[in-house]
Chain A
Amino acid sequence: MKFLDSLSSKPITRYLIYSFSIIFFFALILIPPIVGILFKWNVVNEIFSNPSLMSRALSAIYASFAIAIFVSIIDIVAGLPMAWFIARGKSRWLNILDGLVDISFILPTVTLGYSLMLFWSNKSQGISSLFGESLISPGWLLVILLHFAFSYPVVVRVMVGAILDYQRVYEEAARTLGAAPLTADRTVTLPVLKPSLIASFVLAFARSISETGATMMVAGAFFENGPIFIKKTADLSMGPMVFVSLILIVISCLIFVIINLLGTRLKMPINKIWPLAERKLSDHKLVNFRDSVTILLFLLLILIPSLFVVLPAARAVFNGTLNQAMTRVGVWQDYWQSLILSYLIGLIVTLLNTIAGLPMAILIARKRAGRLVSTVLDVLINIPLIIPTIALGVSLSLFWKNVPFIPEIWLIIFAHLSFTYPYFVRSMSAAIERLHIDLENAARILGARPFAVFRTIILPLTKYSLIAGAVIMFTRSVNETGATLAVVTQLKTIPVLLVDWVNGKVPATAAEIGLGCGFLIILSFIILLILRLIVRGRY
């Protein structure tokens, strides 16, 4: 350690570390997903020369943004009360509820789409079986429900952290001045939490814009958004993919820049106060009613539809066919191998991105490379999040397949590094920015070398954000489908294997699919619960 400490005080060392971090970012995170698209820039003419294809592309792009914005808004409306309930409650059981919120994030998106299809659309199963007909047919409404299910956990996760970090002294001050709880929350707490609200909106938006695999599954024959359009036209030509991906990236970047610029100036409606109405709405009975509706919505629209795929496994337990479902030769050996492969890839991706992402987070948070460069980097790290995963996968495979002698597992790892990196750097740069610079200065003045400052000050004070960022990276890596499908030929990660089961490419019974999803959920749930218990020692 002493050697590393003294090494870190040499300017050349810092220069090398930051250079490595920037090179890593451009070489592995940013350029591969874009360059594949840009290589094919010349084919974009194909779409300009085909008016009907262009019209479809524009409609698909419009649908992508309409759904992403709508879903992000309902995520905030439904997710904020849930985050509040979890963060402010005192019961130990809230840890379980907190964990259950993550389930739709843990599940591979294709499996989630399949589960939602079974629940909402299958006449003989799920809620539709009560009505004897398909309650919600595949189409735009089911796409909205699906996007709501997988982006809701992102909003709840970010907001629970923000509410736990929030200093309640402002809220207490408002209460002592006569504000009812709802008035205090609306006029004081929410404006203070505005940066986190914006961050959660951006993440939910990006997640909705980019998802491909599950959206394909629930979209039906006629509905198209950007990623579906890319997938449907991918066999014909690369032109639509290049065009739609670029438009999605450019418009999303513009939206992020606008949010960055206007977010701080955005005024929340706090001037108008309705003391009597808000006092009545703060009544315990109404608060209990609000919490009940929040939990009911979560159960009905997210948890039960997400877990529905596991139901046949539960049925197998009760009707005695579990043994049969568990012992079919050739199925389970592949399953466990895929599961171990997925966890291994998740672990490697998490470690590599943590090592390479930390200097980048410091660069952005501490503006080490100047204000302009830091702001540009801050916007650029969002790009891998916005690119539709199908386009990301195709682009990555175009890029990496030109590089000889790269084993397939590294292709998967490179693909996963790209779309998980932004989650980590986003989370860590925000945490480091919140840390007062004087703490670092004090340590330096007391004689600590830069690496010692990092080890003894920055790391202990940001460890919760580091763990949170690592958890999101790991989970996203384990459940990602679209991009992985585009780069694999031999290896099967667990989502790829489950896609084969769900699509019937590998024959699997409903009980086997249920068990496969069930094991994945339970194992991931246990890992996350243990981490949560470590991180949130207050319970």
Chain B
Amino acid sequence: MPEVRVVDVTKKFGKIMAVDRTSLHVHDGEYFSLLGPSGCGKTTLLRLIAGLVEPDEGEIYIGDRLVNDVPPEDRGIGFVFQTFALFPHMNAWKNVTYGPRVKAWNEEKTTRIGREMLEMVRLYERLDAFPHELSGGMMQRIALARALAAGAELLLLDEPLGQLDAKVRNELRYELRKMVKDLKLTAIHVTHDQAEAMAISDRIAVMKKGKILQVGTPEELYMNPQHIFVAHFVGESNFLEGHIVKSDKKEVAIELRGGLTVRASDKTKKLGDRVVFAVRPEIFSMEEGRKGGVNSMSGIIERVMFEGTNIRYDVRLENEDLVVVVRPALVGKWLNQSEKVTVSFPPDKSFVFAYPSKGLTEELALE
């Protein structure tokens, strides 16, 4: 099982900086995801690791081997493309056994591997089918079987579930992880879907504009985002602007717009600092009427949306800031539009970030 190290890699396309002095270490046997919005450079980084594009600067190691000058066919990788790239003129069997055949494995081994891989993806009975005769989910499984049949220990997946419908996507993501773990592979998976990345990965790197902002387990990224964009992109957050009016060793008090003050756990911000204060919508508790207490804010429900599992409330606070509150649909009483409510949250379940130098909108922008 190989580990992958990317050291200070840069890749430009004309004037566009696709990957900007990026470093990364993916461990042996890890299921690792590159997560970010469209155009953030995640696919370019994956293609750099595969050798499909060459870096302008920096080094890429697979195992102990520096692979900058190694062509893709000699990197020992499997690659699943977003469009699957199944060869249209070959049937499923020919597609899956293409790797063994171009590597001149003997007939017996080629047939055995082909059979094993097709059985693993439960499509052995469709070995004669051509790509245009298969459904999206089947094509995805054939593409995966093809990538694995070539004996790869490092599997690179470029939005492999992106073209599938939601139900199939949810089923396949667990199958995919189980397969990678059963076969003891290392996998790097590119996606813009944070739910997919959270469900499937051991660790995730969140990227924006060619840079990696934070690497961590799904829990770390959700519970302890180190960057305001990570808090925005992984999960969901309400962002409120304010400044520090009180600071001690454990907590700070933040004065929001309209003189509203909240308390949050933070050890780094100083008195007078301009900050952005973030709270996850699902952390809020909400009661009818106007109530007092620590970190309690009154407001009026402006909108109610039933989302199936959850109910989403847009609450206009008394200081005119808008916060989103998400509550489980099957727990507690449903509240109505125009009702007066009080929302509250525990101080240790919020995040405080320094106010971004480029402004909050720019920092949270997806493109």
User: Given the complex, which residues of A lie within 8 Å of B75, measured CB to CB?
Assistant: 176
| Bound: A276/B102 CA distance, A | 9
**Contact count band on B:** 20 to 34
| Complex alpha-carbon distance, A276 and B146, angstroms | 21
User: Given the complex of chains A and B, what is the CA–CA distance between A275 and B106 in angstroms?
Assistant: 12
- Residues of chain A in range 185-207 having any CB-CB distance to chain B below 8 Å: 187-188, 191-192, 194
Chain B contacts for A275, CB-based, 8 A: 102-104
A172 touches B146 (CB 8 A): no
For residue B73, CB closer than 8 A to chain A, the reply is: yes
Q: Mark B134-178, 1 if CB is under 8 A from A, else 0.
A: 000000000000110010000010000000000000000000000
From B79-87, B184-192, B270-278, the one touching the partner chain is B79-87
- Identify which of B51, B52, B89, B150 contacts A177 (C-beta below 8 A): B150
**Chain B residues in 8 Å Cβ range of A180:** 73, 102
Q: Which chain B residue lies CB-closest to A171?
A: B85
Interface centre among A169, A173, A187, A188 (most CB of B within 10 A): A173
A164-178, CB < 8 A from B = 169-170, 172-178
Q: In the bound complex, do residue A178 and residue B85 qualify as a contact, i.e. CB atoms below 8 Å apart?
A: no
Question: For residue A276, which residue of chain B has the nearest CB?
Answer: B104
Tell me if A191 and B52 are in contact (CB < 8 A). no
Cα-based distance from A173 to B147 in the complex (angstroms): 9
| Nearest CB of chain B from residue A173's CB, rounded to whole Å | 4
Per the bound structure, the CA–CA distance linking A169 and B146 in Å amounts to 15
Whether B78 sits at the interface, judged by CB under 8 Å, is: yes
Question: How far, in Å, is B41 (CB) from chain A's closest CB?
Answer: 18
CA distance A178 to B50 in the complex (A): 12
Q: Are B102 and A173 in contact (CB under 8 A)?
A: no
- Distance between Cα atoms of A183 and B71 in the complex (Å): 14
Given A172-B52, A177-B146, residue A191 in contact with residue B89 (CB < 8 A): yes
**Which of A170, A174, A194 touches B102 (beta carbons < 8 Å)?**
A174
Q: Which chain B positions have C-beta within 8 A of A179?
A: 73, 98, 102
Is B35 positioned at the interface, with any CB of A under 8 Å from its CB?
A: no
Chain A residues lying within 8 Å of B103, measured Cβ to Cβ, are 178, 275
Asked if B101 is at the interface (CB within 8 A of a chain A CB), the reply is: yes
B72 at the interface (CB under 8 A from A): yes
Looking at the assembled complex, report how far the CB atom of A268 sits from the nearest CB atom of chain B, in whole angstroms: 8
Asked if B88 CB lies within 8 Å of chain A CBs, one says yes
- B83 / chain A contacts, CB cutoff of 8 Å: 169
The reply on B99 being an interface residue by CB < 8 A is: yes
The reply on A96 being an interface residue by CB < 8 A is: no
- Are B88 and A192 in contact, with the CB atoms below 8 A? yes
Asked if B77 is at the interface of the complex by the 8 Å CB criterion, the answer is: yes
A273 at the interface (CB under 8 A from B): yes
Q: Contacts of B104 on A, CB cut-off 8 Å?
A: 273, 275-276
Contact flag A176-B52 (CB < 8 Å), given A169-B81, A273-B101: yes
Residues from chain B with a CB closer than 8 A to the CB of A170 are 85, 87-88
Residues of A within 8 A of B150 (CB): 177-178
Do residues A273 and B52 form an inter-chain contact, with CB atoms below 8 A? no
In contact, A173 and B87 (Cβ under 8 angstroms)? yes
Interface string of A228-264 (1 = CB under 8 A from B): 0000000000000000000000000000000000000
Contact B102 A273 (CB under 8 A): yes
Q: Are A178 and B87 in contact (CB under 8 A)?
A: no
Given contacts A191-B89, A192-B88, A192-B89, contact A176 B79 (CB under 8 A): yes
Do B72 and A172 have beta carbons less than 8 Å apart?
yes
List the B residue with the shortest CB-CB distance to A173.
B85
Tell me the interface secondary structure of chain A in the complex. helix
Chain B residues with Cβ below 8 Å from A191 are: 87, 89
What residues of chain B lie closer than 8 Å to A183, measured between beta carbons?
102
A187 to B83, CA, bound (A): 19
Chain B neighbourhood of A188, CB < 8 A = 87
User: What size tier do the contact residues of chain A reach?
Assistant: 20 to 34
When distances are taken between beta carbons in the complex, the residues of chain B under 8 Å from A273 are 101-102, 104
Task: Give the complex CA separation of A191 and B73 in angstroms.
Answer: 20
B225-242 interface with A by 8 A CB criterion: none
Min C-beta distance of A8 to chain B, whole Å: 33
Q: What A residues does B90 contact at CB under 8 A?
A: 270
Q: Would you call A175 and B89 a contact (CB within 8 A)? A: no
Shortest CB-to-CB span from A169 to chain B, Å, is 4
Name the CB-closest residue of B to A267. B89
Tell me the bound Cα distance from A174 to B78 in angstroms.
10
In the assembly, what is the distance between CA of A194 and CA of B88, in Å?
A: 12
> Which residue, of B78, B81, B101, B102, has the highest number of chain A Cβ atoms within 10 A?
B102
Complex interface: chain B residues within 8 A of A270 (CB): 89-90
Contact B89 A176 (CB under 8 A): no
What is the chain B residue whose CB lies nearest that of A278? B102
Given contacts A273-B104, A275-B102, A276-B104, contact A176 B88 (CB under 8 A): no
Are B98's CB and A176's CB within 8 A?
no
CA distance A416 to B54 in the complex (A): 50
The 8 Å CB contact of B98, one of A174, A192, A194, A276, is A174
Closest to B156 in A: A176
Q: Interface code A275-315, partner B: CB below 8 Å = 1, 0 otherwise?
A: 11000000000000000000000000000000000000000
**With A169-B83, A173-B79, A192-B89 given, is the CB distance from A178 to B102 under 8 Å?**
yes
**A169→B143 CA distance, assembly (Å):** 13
Q: Are B85 and A177 in contact (CB under 8 A)?
A: no
CA distance A270 to B95 in the complex (A): 12
| Cβ proximity bits B316-340 to A, threshold 8 Å, 1 near / 0 not | 0000000000000000000000000
By the criterion CB–CB under 8 Å, are A177 and B81 in contact? no
Instruction: Name the B residues within 8 Å of A181 (CB-CB).
Output: 71
Q: Which residues of A contact B147 (CB under 8 A)?
A: 176-177
Residue of A nearest to B79 (CB): A176
Tell me, rounded to whole Å, the shortest Cβ–Cβ distance linking A520 to chain B: 38
A177 touches B71 (CB 8 A): no
- Cα distance A188–B86 in the bound complex, in angstroms: 10
In chain A, positions 139-190 with a C-beta closer than 8 Å to chain B are: 169-170, 172-181, 183, 187-188
Closest A residue to B149 by beta carbon equals A177
Q: CA A177 – CA B75 in complex, angstroms?
A: 10
**Assembled-state Cα–Cα distance A179/B50 (Å):** 14
CB distance from B220 to the nearest CB of A (A): 31
CA distance A175 to B70 in the complex (A): 12
Q: How far is the CA of A129 from the CA of B358 in the complex (A)?
A: 75
Q: How many angstroms from the CA of A270 to the CA of B89 in the assembled complex?
A: 10
Contact partner, B73, options A178, A192, A276, Cβ 8 Å: A178
Min Cβ gap B74→A in Å is 8
Complex: how many Å from CA A115 to CA B51?
Answer: 48
CB of A383 to closest CB in B, whole Å? 31
Q: Which residues of B contact A187 (CB under 8 A)?
A: 98, 102
Q: Is the CB of B78 within 8 A of A176?
A: yes
Q: Are A176 and B73 in touch, CB under 8 angstroms? A: yes
A-B pairs with beta carbons under 8 Å apart, 19 shown: A169-B81, A169-B83, A170-B85, A172-B52, A173-B79, A174-B98, A175-B51, A176-B73, A176-B147, A177-B73, A177-B78, A177-B79, A177-B98, A177-B147, A178-B103, A183-B102, A191-B89, A192-B89, A194-B89
Inter-chain pairs besides A180-B102, A183-B102, A187-B102, 12 sampled, C-beta below 8 Å = A172-B79, A173-B79, A173-B85, A176-B50, A176-B79, A176-B147, A176-B156, A187-B98, A192-B87, A273-B102, A275-B102, A275-B103
Question: What are the 8 closest A-B residue pairs judged by CB atoms, nearest first?
Answer: A176-B79, A177-B99, A173-B85, A179-B102, A175-B72, A275-B104, A169-B85, A191-B89
